[in-house]
Amino acid sequence: MKKVAVFCGSSNGASDVYIEGAKKLGKELAKRNIALVYGGASVGIMGAVADSVLEEGGYAIGVIPSFLEKREISHKSLSELITVDSMHERKAKIADLADGFIALPGGPGTLDEFFEIFTWAQLGLHHKPCGLLNINHYYDPLIALLNHMSDEQFLHERYRTMAIVDNEPNGLLDKFNTYEPPTVKTYITEKQN
């Protein structure tokens, strides 16, 4: 694993624990010589994870749409900043660059990014690990929803387990290293074969 994409908020969150968790992930990425790929902002949890990677001597790649470059205050000290035309291009570029994907706490944009890449994995468009760094139990309600989707047969169990969860960056990255993707999603049932 050479590059990991991190989806996260451009806000700090309600507690310092979120910024601290982002910094901890950044340090762990740098320690493992894994480059950060993220949305390119200098603010919020996005800025904290990038700053932490850079402070530890790691490599940080930002991908930001031109219309957000000023609004999200693009990070000026990154190893590399890629400017694209749209949100769709941003997500596609991040997906192409990364060997795995981690969602830190964030809002609807973070969930949009995570669920798109998670869905692509279900469909076999990539075979890269997708994880939730569950800082301060932030993702407990989402994990419960995924379990409910599985219980109600809207999400097959083998795909539910594709959402790798850990409370600590080192545990999550260790799980990424042993990740084996399930077989590609199909709508054909055993009775139809």
CB atoms within 10 A of CB 70: 9
**Which residue carries 């539910």 as its tokens?**
160
Span 3-177 CATH architecture? 3-Layer(aba) Sandwich (3.40)
Query: Is residue 84 pLDDT above 70, yes or no?
Result: yes
Tens-place pLDDT, residues 50-82? 999 999 999 999 999 998 876 768 899 999 999
Q: What are phi and psi of 34, to 5 degrees?
A: -105, 125
pTM value? Answer: 0.93
DSSP-derived letter for residue 191 is G
pLDDT band at 186 (very low <50, low <70, confident <90, very high): low
How far apart, in whole angstroms, are the C-alpha atoms of residue 109 and residue 114? Answer: 9
For the cut 70, the answer to whether the pLDDT of residue 91 exceeds it is: yes
Distance of CA 101 to the CA centre of its chain: 4
Q: Give the up-direction half-sphere exposure of residue 39: CA atoms within 13 A in the CB hemisphere.
A: 32
CB under 8 Å, gap of 24 or more: what pairs does 117-124 form?
Answer: 117/5, 117/91, 118/162, 118/163, 120/95, 121/162, 121/181, 122/159, 122/162, 122/185, 123/184, 123/185, 124/184, 124/185
* Count of C-beta atoms within a 10 Å radius of residue 107: 12
SS (H, E, C) 69-117: HCCCCECCCCCEEEEECCHHHHHHHHHHHCCEEEECCCCHHHHHHHHHH
pLDDT at 189 over 70: no
Chain length of the chain: 193
Using DSSP, state whether 119 is helix, strand or coil: helix
